[in-house]
Amino acid sequence: MKDKILISEVGPRDGLQNCKGVMPTDVKKRWVKGLYDAGVREIEVGSFVPPKLFPQLADTAEIVAFAKTLPGLTVLALIPNFRGAQAALDAGVDAVTLPLSASETHSLKNMRQTHDQVIENVKSIRTLFDASSNPPRFEAGVSTAFGCSIEGHVPEAKVISLGERLVEAGVDELGLSDTVGYANPLQIKSMIKSMRDAVGQEKVKSVHLHNTYGLGIANAFSAYEEGIEVFDSSQGGLGGCPASPGASGNIVTEDLVYMFEAMGVDTGIDLDHLMACRKYLEEGLPGEPVYGFTPNAGLPKTYSVS
């Protein structure tokens, strides 16, 4: 198994998007810088969506510009459509991620797009990026890949078929997203294996997990065993879904780093330094609940900095 993995911090996008408060731009920059100083080398810094819908992410272009000054950091942004892709290209991101919800009901509700429409968007965006001298890496995240709070069960075959269509339409990589936290560790292994068999091992590098049922870290371990090397997570488990009572946010970056480092798997992240960055959440989002077993318990005696 791999002795090094990459943690892709999604708090500034997935986390903030689901918070009631709006983090001030200057705090957001200090948070991004703090994460970088702690050793985080990929951050999803925002989303190119209409500011009217997501005022929390209205400063994404400015955050991208700031994050691009940090050497060696992969600056990622979410894009919902062609217009977002254009804005991301103009802002100079290193990578974009476009979500396609395997549950078409969810896709219509969340993005107002059918599967066919999303695939057409991907083709147009591929053309746009191919015409650029410096195209970003183009990822698609297959969301609700392990179940949907509206449709319920999502068949694996449907997810695989959508993955194939996305790759054919021109994305560089696929991520598998457990948007509502329904996945279990055996399902994770099965889906990764099937998707890799379908589109090629090198195309399936990342998982995006939520912790609604407390299985998020177990799912991450299972994905690691299956060869996944990029893990999305959010500092303090920020996020959650306002539409799903009891649903929790992304898996907690602090706990994820703890697990990998305790196992001797290098994340490149200094956990003490990372935990200190929780102060930016308190400053920029006063009253917002933050989570994490490791920050609550404090590092154990057996933990040694790698």
Residues near its own copies, by CB under 8 A: 147-149, 151-153, 180-182, 184-187, 211-215, 217-218, 220-222, 244-248, 252, 255, 258-259, 262-264, 292-294, 296-298, 300-302
Assess contact for 147 and 184: CB atoms under 8 A. Answer: no
Identify which of residues 25 and 244 has a Cβ nearer to its own copies in the complex: 244
Assess contact for 57 and 12: CB atoms under 8 A. Answer: no
Closest to 29 measured CA to CA, from 37, 39, 21: 37
Least Å from the CB of residue 216 to its own copies: 9
Identify which of residues 48 and 224 has a Cβ nearer to its own copies in the complex: 224
Place of tokens 């090198």: 202
* Residue 166 vs residues 95, 162, 170, 205, 219: alpha-carbon distances, Å: 16, 6, 6, 15, 24
Identify which of residues 53 and 186 has a Cβ nearer to its own copies in the complex: 186
The residue annotated as part of the active site, out of 19, 148, 241, 277, is 241
Determine the Cα–Cα distance for residues 219 and 181; give it in Å rounded to an integer. 10
Least Å from the CB of residue 244 to its own copies: 8
* Vertex 220: Cα angle to 217 and 225 (nearest 5): 130
Least Å from the CB of residue 40 to its own copies: 19
Identify which of residues 72 and 300 has a Cβ nearer to its own copies in the complex: 300
Identify which of residues 121 and 248 has a Cβ nearer to its own copies in the complex: 248
For residue 58, give every residue at least 6 positions away whose Cβ sits within 8 Å of its Cβ, in sequence order, or none. Answer: 51
Q: Which helix (H) or strand (E) holds 115?
A: helix 115-130
Least Å from the CB of residue 304 to its own copies: 9
Least Å from the CB of residue 4 to its own copies: 15
Report helix, strand or coil for 164: helix
Determine the Cα–Cα distance for residues 53 and 204; give it in Å rounded to an integer. 31
Assess contact for 275 and 254: CB atoms under 8 A. Answer: yes
Question: Is 148 designated active site?
Answer: no
Closest to 195 measured CA to CA, from 186, 182, 208, 204: 204
Identify which of residues 170 and 185 has a Cβ nearer to its own copies in the complex: 185
104 backbone dihedrals φ, ψ, rounded to 5°: -70, -30
Residues in the chain, overall count = 306
Least Å from the CB of residue 214 to its own copies: 3
Closest to 179 measured CA to CA, from 198, 151, 158, 202: 151
Q: Which residues are catalytic?
A: 241
